[in-house]
């Protein structure tokens, strides 16, 4: 299909990762970039040859040539900026989480249904090659009956600025909630969460949240499945890890304990010593348009054309970035729902928000609101 959509990227820290992907996607025109800091904005826009740029988000939303915005701003801005964009008639892709309150999530869902506009939360883990491999095993029946799922996201956030110090672990839980719900495309019905341990006094006061770790059980809706997720941000010794594991009747797959190691696959009914084997996850660039396939494994920043830029991060996040871009653009071109859409994004995000409330109430069961369910 030759149709193209005009995209604006808002926020150029992490957001700059996506510039060359949109520029090379056959159905996208990256027409605008936006950042508050005009010096950084101009430097990046010049480097990537982008003529139109805004330091004001409100001014950007007045631009009639923009079809969709991809929001990569700080977490507290996600809900407000998504709501503003939908009210301005723009489709929205937004980095995680969807919002910081259940009320913002609900307003975003209502706006998409009132306007017919598309919303997609850009959750990296559900497009990482490891997840796509497990999804393929599930979709082809190789796992057998799925019996249980678990995931974690642990990270040391000391030294991070602004809103990060003392942030309750479950307030940013989409990297571990997304995959457990995304594998079978289930929804969370209710949650129960416990806090564990205590962070430093100077951190506690920021959000009145003492917990070093929050661990949540998720009961799936219309299913016999449940999942276990846990999260830590401060005062826990752990290498950065976003993990996911699925346990099936025929095969189970576990994320490695150490970053960069192979997946471990367990196959039922083998000799005990032969049950586990190390598996290198295949890459899924073949699912993408040729023009953006290289971004699953090579550097995202186009250093061939912008050699003066010192961007060295690479594809990152399991090669998910081009898959996210393609899912969003494809949904706009074909007028189909992306995964996760607004209701699914709300369900994933609200799990974390409500889990923290559960922890503060000693593990009390809290049900997900009806607007987070597909009907």
What CATH number is given to the structural domain containing 89? 3.40.50.720
Phi, then psi, of 227 in degrees rounded to 5: -135, 160
Do 199 and 237 fall within a single domain?
yes
61 domain-assigned: yes
Residue 265 has pLDDT above 60, yes or no: yes
Residue 31 has pLDDT above 70, yes or no: yes
Burial track 180-206 (b if 16+ CB lie within 10 A, e otherwise): bbbbbebbbbbbbbbbeeebeeebeee
Higher pLDDT, 316 or 111: 111
Percent of the chain at pLDDT exceeding 70: 95
Do 23 and 80 fall within a single domain?
yes
Phi, then psi, of 181 in degrees rounded to 5: -85, -30
Do 251 and 365 fall within a single domain?
yes
Do 178 and 273 fall within a single domain?
yes
Tell which residue, 131, 12, 151, has the closest CA to residue 70.
Answer: 12
Close Cβ partners of 227 (under 8 Å, ≥ 6 residues apart): 148, 149, 150, 151, 180, 181, 217, 218, 220
Token digits of residue 2: 């030759």
Do 302 and 263 fall within a single domain?
no
Residues 110-140 pLDDT 10s: 999 999 999 999 999 999 999 999 999 999 9
Rounded Cα distance, 223 and 53, in Å:
47
Do 213 and 295 fall within a single domain?
no
Do 131 and 231 fall within a single domain?
yes
Token digits of residue 50: 């982008």
Do 325 and 247 fall within a single domain?
no
CB of 350 closer than 8 Å to CB of 178: no
CATH code of 178's domain: 3.30.360.10
**Domain count of the fold of the chain:** 2
CB of 101 closer than 8 Å to CB of 357: no
167 domain-assigned: yes
**Burial of residue 63 (number of CB atoms within 10 Å: 0-12, 13-18, 19+):** middle
68 domain-assigned: yes
Do 96 and 240 fall within a single domain?
no
Do 279 and 298 fall within a single domain?
no
Residue 341 has pLDDT above 60, yes or no: yes
pLDDT of the residue at 1? 62
Do 135 and 264 fall within a single domain?
yes
Residue 308 has pLDDT above 50, yes or no: no
Close Cβ partners of 203 (under 8 Å, ≥ 6 residues apart): 165, 166, 234, 235
294 domain-assigned: yes
pLDDT of the residue at 297? 86
> How does residue 267 score in pLDDT terms, banded at 50, 70 and 90?
very high
In order, the DSSP letters of 189-250 are: EEEEEEEES---HHHHHHHT---SEEEEEEEETTSS-EEEEEEE-SS-----EEEEEEEESS
Residues 40-64 pLDDT 10s: 999 999 999 999 999 999 999 999 9
Mean pLDDT of the chain: 94
70 domain-assigned: yes
> How does residue 331 score in pLDDT terms, banded at 50, 70 and 90?
very high
Rounded Cα distance, 130 and 156, in Å:
23
Residues 170-189 pLDDT 10s: 999 999 999 999 999 999 99
According to DSSP, the β-strands at 263-267 and 251-254 are antiparallel
> How does residue 337 score in pLDDT terms, banded at 50, 70 and 90?
very high
pLDDT of the residue at 299? 63
pLDDT of the residue at 314? 32
102 domain-assigned: yes
Do 74 and 143 fall within a single domain?
no
Close Cβ partners of 174 (under 8 Å, ≥ 6 residues apart): 96, 97, 98, 121, 123, 125, 348, 349, 352
Token digits of residue 73: 């701003």
Q: What is the CA radius of gyration of the chain?
A: 20
Would you give the distance in Å from CA 279 to the centre of its chain?
24
234 domain-assigned: yes
> How does residue 250 score in pLDDT terms, banded at 50, 70 and 90?
very high
* 112 three-state secondary structure: helix
343 domain-assigned: no
Angle made by CA atoms 249, 125, 162, in degrees to the nearest 5: 140
Token digits of residue 202: 């100077």
Domain that holds residue 83: 5-124+287-338
In order, the DSSP letters of 2-64 are: ---EEEEEE-SSGGGGGHHHHHH-TTEEEEEEE-S-HHHHHHHHHHTT--EEES-HHHHHT-T
Q: Which of 1-5, 305-309, 367-371 has the lowest mean pLDDT?
A: 305-309
């Amino acid at each position: 299909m030759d149709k193209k959509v005009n995209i604006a990227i808002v926020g150029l820290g992490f957001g700059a990762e996506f510039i060359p992907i949109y520029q090379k996607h056959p159905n996208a025109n990256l027409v605008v970039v936006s950042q508050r800091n005009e010096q950084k904005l101009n430097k990046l826009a010049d480097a990537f040859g982008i003529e139109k740029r805004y330091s004001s988000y409100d001014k950007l939303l007045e631009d009639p040539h923009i079809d969709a915005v991809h929001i990569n701003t700080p977490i507290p801005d996600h809900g407000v900026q998504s709501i503003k964009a939908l009210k301005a008639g723009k489709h929205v892709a937004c980095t995680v989480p969807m919002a910081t309150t259940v009320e913002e999530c609900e307003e975003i869902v209502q706006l998409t249904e009132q306007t017919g506009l598309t919303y997609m939360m850009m959750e990296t883990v559900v497009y990482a090659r490891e997840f796509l491999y497990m999804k393929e095993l599930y979709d082809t029946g190789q796992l057998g009956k799925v019996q249980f799922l678990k995931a974690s996201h642990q990270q040391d956030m000391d030294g991070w600025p602004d809103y990060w110090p003392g942030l309750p672990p479950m307030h940013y839980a989409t990297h571990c909630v997304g995959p457990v719900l995304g594998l079978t495309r289930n929804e969370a019905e209710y949650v129960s969460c416990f806090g564990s341990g205590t962070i430093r006094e100077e951190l506690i006061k920021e959000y009145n949240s003492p917990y070093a770790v929050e661990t949540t059980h998720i009961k799936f809706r219309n299913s016999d499945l449940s999942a276990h997720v846990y999260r830590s941000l401060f005062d826990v010794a752990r290498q950065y890890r976003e993990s996911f594991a699925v346990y099936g009747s025929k095969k189970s797959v576990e994320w490695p304990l150490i970053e960069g190691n192979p997946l471990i696959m367990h196959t039922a009914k083998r000799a005990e010593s032969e049950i586990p084997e190390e598996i290198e996850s295949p890459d899924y660039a073949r699912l993408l348009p040729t023009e953006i396939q290289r971004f699953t494994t090579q550097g995202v920043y186009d250093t061939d054309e912008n050699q003066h830029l010192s961007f060295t991060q690479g594809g990152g996040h399991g090669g998910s970035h081009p898959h996210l871009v393609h899912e969003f653009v494809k949904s706009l071109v074909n007028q189909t729902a992306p995964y996760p859409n607004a209701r699914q994004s709300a369900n994933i995000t609200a799990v974390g928000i409500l889990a923290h409330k559960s922890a503060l109430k000693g593990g009390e069961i809290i049900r997900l609101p009806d607007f987070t369910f597909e009907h």
